[in-house]
Structure 1
Amino acid sequence: MAGDLSQTVRALVFDVFGTVVDWRTCVAREAAPFLARHGLAVEPEAFADAWRREYVPAMAEVRSGRRGFVRLDVLHRENLVRALAGLGADVARIPGAELDALNLAWHRLDPWPDSREGLQRLKQRFIIAPLSNGNIRLMVDIAKRAGLPWDAILGAEVVRDYKPSPAVYLQTAEILGLAPAELCLVAAHNGDLAAARACGLSTAFVARPREHGPAQSTDLAAEQDWDVVAADFGELAQRFGC
């Protein structure tokens, strides 16, 4: 570990969607009966992908200043309508209560098998918290369901901006009373880590090669010399002396 990062870092913050939890499998599972009920001939996993594709463009409207900050639950609900319309659904005929219920699929995501134990080990020595674009209630619901032992809930809604805006990383360090290098972002996404490193944060990459399904072609390996590269959260905890 470069420069014995375990002695420099005082807190680890985590990307959540894809890094800590398996969003694709769980959203597809929740969507399957909805799609069948409404006669939509699309595989649940393909629907989950279509919904997720709206994620970055929706946040870009906020990051650019063209739209004021709204929490991710709001964006997810709007993105759900766009995804369904793009798949040919007559969204006007679907009761709003059904759309609201499906939108909560993002609150019921399962952790990767190694997430909970690895976080519990890291918590013994470090402050641990999400640094997610998910809003506070969303992160709380996932944590309670999945047994994630966060010390705090941090991220986009606290800062009122979305990653990879520098403010999300820098203000999170300031909230914790830390210098940027004392805060380590753990993520399965090279782009997230690059934005954090540009702000002076320490970085740790954990590959999740099935986040986007068996045909995933991105983020299969570390693309820079991140401070730590680990196969899973168990190895991550070991590398940090936990």
Structure 2
Amino acid sequence: MENRHCAIFGPVLTVVVVRLHAHDHPFCDDIMGTNDGVSSSVPASHTITIALIWIKTCQLPNLPPTFLRSLKTSKRASDIPSIRIWYNLRPQTCSSHHDSLPLPNRYVFDVFGTLFDWRSAVVREFKCLARDASKRGSNTEAMLSGVNWMEFTDEWRKGYGRNTKALAAKPTPSDSFPKLDVVHRQILDDLIISHGLHGVFTELELTHVNLAWHRLDPWPDVPQGLRMLQRGYMTSTLSNASVRLLVDLARWGGISFDLLISSELFGTYKPNPRVYLNAAELLDLRPEEVCLVAAHRYDLEAAKGCGYATVYLRRKGEDDGEPEINTPNEKIDVVVDDLQDLAVLLGCMNI
């Protein structure tokens, strides 16, 4: 029998690895992704046993729901999402998780898609709007019946990406910098015309649905995950949303931050480097003392180019059809499945 400690997550997530025999499947290699030619399949009983050792060793008082659920269904080690947190680190034994992690202790968060589920909320508002408008007559009902509001919402979001990136490409701050509500409304108006819906909705209705971005619901892991992180770390937004929009989202979602930072403050949009560099300066920090958490690789790559540490938070459907990122690379330091996993990883277990 061979016992090994893989302190790849610091002492909080120290994993005791037991090789029963040389031909058994190494749990540590399964976690690290270092396929040495041996199948990574591990019997469920081994997985649960090792997971229980992990819990006992780390003395975790609060585990993310994803981890607890996975214990009931796992058939192999890599099925446990809370363990399947990847680092751009080599295995090492550490005396303090603060010393061992490749991350600072100031965290700034992208908002749309990373912390808030924009798609579900906006689609819901469009469907309500269409239902009310359909009552005005058969012609209106016929016009609206063929609209796929999920696709319509995705087009709106893609227009946001194109327009903000075009504005971000301007080399100097613009005195005529348009706030995001204005950008959203311009895209919405164009979509209404291109889908043959001109005149279907009133101006009041269009204004209301344009502000749906102020009424997004946070992802289920976010409220608790943020509270856990805030026990030991500074948190702030770093978003293309305006300051007012961020205030409304925080209030609507019942979450809080130490600070709300918007690209609006710097007269441009992400991924312009001014946003990341000026945000660090606003915090009186060097860029390398700040970590961006986001669900979009373009955002993280731009932040890394400015010196930030980066955490990729995987959200299904958020990365514009790009292949899912499963492991770190030169631009992404850490990959996690949800915010509570990140909090546990950083030692913020007590809520």
By the TM > 0.5 criterion, same fold?
yes
Match of 1:83 in 2: 191
Q: How far apart in 2 are the matches of 1:64 and 1:206?
A: 25
Q: Which deviates the most, 94-103 or 217-226?
A: 217-226
Q: How far apart in 2 are the matches of 1:100 and 1:53?
A: 20
CA displacement at 1:105 relative to structure 2: 0.5
- Check if 1:160 corresponds to 2:264: no
Aligned 1:187-226 pairs, distance under 5 A? 187-211=294-318, 217-218=321-322, 220-222=324-326, 224-225=328-329, 226=332
Match of 2:179 in 1: 71
Q: Which deviates the most, 2-11 or 161-170?
A: 2-11
* 1:222–1:155 Cα change, 3 Å: farther
Q: Which deviates the most, 140-149 or 194-203?
A: 140-149
CA displacement at 1:52 relative to structure 2: 1.0
Q: How far apart in 2 are the matches of 1:6 and 1:27?
A: 37
3-state secondary structure, aligned to 2:271: coil
The percent of aligned pairs where both chains have the same amino acid is: 39
* 1:26–1:155 Cα change, 3 Å: same
Q: Which deviates the most, 33-42 or 111-120?
A: 33-42
In structure 1, which of residues 227, 235, 238 is the aligned counterpart of residue 341 of structure 2? 235
Q: Which deviates the most, 63-72 or 191-200?
A: 63-72
Q: How far apart in 1 are the matches of 2:205 and 2:103?
A: 48
Q: Is the 8 A contact 1:26 1:105 kept in 2?
A: yes
Q: How far apart in 1 are the matches of 2:197 and 2:191?
A: 9
Q: Which deviates the most, 93-102 or 177-186?
A: 93-102
Query: Which consecutive segments of 4 or more residues in structure 1 shift more than 4 A?
Result: 1-8
Q: Is the 8 A contact 2:103 2:291 kept in 1?
A: no
> What stretches of structure 2 of length at least 5 have no aligned partner?
1-86, 90-98, 134-139
Listed one character per residue, the Cα deviations across residues 178-225 of structure 1 (whole Å, up to 9, x for unaligned) are: 11111000011111110000000010011001448xxx7435224742
Q: Which deviates the most, 100-109 or 151-160?
A: 151-160
Listed one character per residue, the Cα deviations across residues 103-154 of structure 1 (whole Å, up to 9, x for unaligned) are: 1110110111101111111111111111111111111111111112211110
3-state secondary structure, aligned to 2:116: coil
Q: Is the 8 A contact 1:14 1:129 kept in 2?
A: yes
- Which one has the largest radius of gyration? 2
> What stretches of structure 1 of length at least 5 have no aligned partner?
none
Q: CA RMSD in A?
A: 2.2
CA displacement at 1:239 relative to structure 2: 1.9
Aligned 1:1-242 pairs, distance under 5 A? 4=99, 6=101, 9-36=104-131, 37=133, 38-39=140-141, 40=144, 41-65=146-170, 68-91=176-199, 94-211=201-318, 217-218=321-322, 220-222=324-326, 224-225=328-329, 226-242=332-348
Q: Is the 8 A contact 1:118 1:233 kept in 2?
A: yes
TM-score (norm 1): 0.90
Listed one character per residue, the Cα deviations across residues 45-80 of structure 1 (whole Å, up to 9, x for unaligned) are: 112112112102222342233973111011111111
Q: Is the 8 A contact 1:22 1:112 kept in 2?
A: yes
Q: How far apart in 1 are the matches of 2:321 and 2:158?
A: 15
Listed one character per residue, the Cα deviations across residues 73-105 of structure 1 (whole Å, up to 9, x for unaligned) are: 1111111101211212115x6322211111111
TM-score (norm 2): 0.63
Q: How far apart in 2 are the matches of 1:18 and 1:217?
A: 14
